[in-house]
Structure 1
Amino acid sequence: MCLKTLVVTRLRFMKLIQLIKEMGKSDTVHLTDMNEAVAIDGEYTKSLSSHYKGKTALFETKQGTKKLIFSDYKTYFVMNARLAGFTVVVSDELFNQVSKTEKVQTIQMYNVQDEKHAEQLTEKMQQLVPETAQLDSFYATYKAGMEAKGMLIFMGAFLGLVFLLATGSVIYFKQLTEATADRERYVILQKIGVKKKEIKASIAKQIFFVFAMPLVIGIAHSTVALTALSNLAGLDLAMPVFISMCVYTVIYTIYYFLTVSSYSKIVMEQP
């Protein structure tokens, strides 16, 4: 792996220890050699990301190519993702050596309480920050992420609802068409003494399988697909998926009872 092709933030070892403590984590990090490094990858996923421990990387500098050996890696951010999506922690000795010829960027961080609602504070700080500096706040990142996820959830729910209503309507009208065609058979059953209650029970069982099969297959297919997506993207989609399945089941149930009622009225209607 060549770090020349990556957007990398180099972090001094002692600064990492301080940041980990400030975050309230009990992790310990050890660097026993100047060429050892620790990878910080907050977007780490088992299916896509590299298992950094034990891997080597070439680090291009004006002093030449440095060889780094990853002794450990952390799967959480120690700085805002937009400022340091992938961070390489090096020893203080290597940092001091490389910083003599490389450009060093200073990042100041502040721990804000109730950061999800810090809109006014973010706006005031934006006004104070000079144009040459870059400000990245938790609130701005959180807001942008929620807006993007909200739009995706809305689009997915809307399209799913449209297809669900279309499927339910197709099944509903198909069953009514069959009811009209089979009406004479049910009239004969009534004439030979079959009770209306028994006929309605038979209709309910028949239509139940018609609605149950698409629902069960759809839920099973969605569960497999969304589980794969959750593992691939590293997202927890359990609650949104559960809620959407409950909503779809309720809508299908309404279609089911409506179809049973309409079907029964057609076949029970006196000629």
Structure 2
Amino acid sequence: MEKKEWYFEYEIKTNRPGILGDISSLLGMLSINIITINGVDEGRRGMLLLAQNEYQIVRLESILRTMDTIKIIKLREPKLRDRLAVRHGRYIQRDADDKKTFHFTRDEIGLLVDFMSEMFKKEGHKLIGIRGMPRVGKTESIVAASVSANKRWLFVSSTLLKQTVRDQLIREEYRSDNIFIIDGVVSTNRASERHWQLVREIMRLPAAKVIEHPDIFVQNSEYSIDDFDYIIELRHHPEEEITYELVQNQFFPESDLDGFDF
């Protein structure tokens, strides 16, 4: 029987020396291997485990529930957020009301890159929106995640180095393993109908598409926020408000857009 991974997270109720040793010894007696261990929140630890069968996990849970020094938070097959929490020592913050919206700050760029990279590795259509103020690192994070996922990225519209507004692709670029990057502001303010026709073609591809400024994008297209699989919000600090007043109320001349990362 093939071994299977499990995620175990617990909260320390009574902090005393030797708790981790007790748990490690218990796992050893049950022939369950520890793959990775890390603190994932204040007073909590997370572990990726490898077990031969589910019965070992059932026995583990029954014994753990007799221990008064810890509280089991999660014992399940690992999700992406679990794996990233153990890897980075912190959980991705998820919106309480909108489960497809995830929050990051500038000092969590590494976590964001890993998160997007794992999404990019999965085949098929994915529509990802990313919100954020100027120069917070949106485009750079997308490119870094593409590199991490060993995928090629294509700017359909962008202002990273020089304003890009494409209205056609060459045959080799219509690949489902490419990452297509669209800036909602540039596409709205500078694009022709040929560009929007290209956008529609790309949206039908079974590939990952990342839209910067998704709110501006949906206001000026036939798409809606409900079409997005994930929404990422990137801030300089947790209290920063993401606003679009500047780009909504002013039509930027091309010289102002060049080299400006919204």
Question: Normalized against structure 1, the TM-score is what?
Answer: 0.23
Larger radius of gyration: 1
Q: Flag the structure with higher helix content.
A: 1
Question: Normalized against structure 2, the TM-score is what?
Answer: 0.24
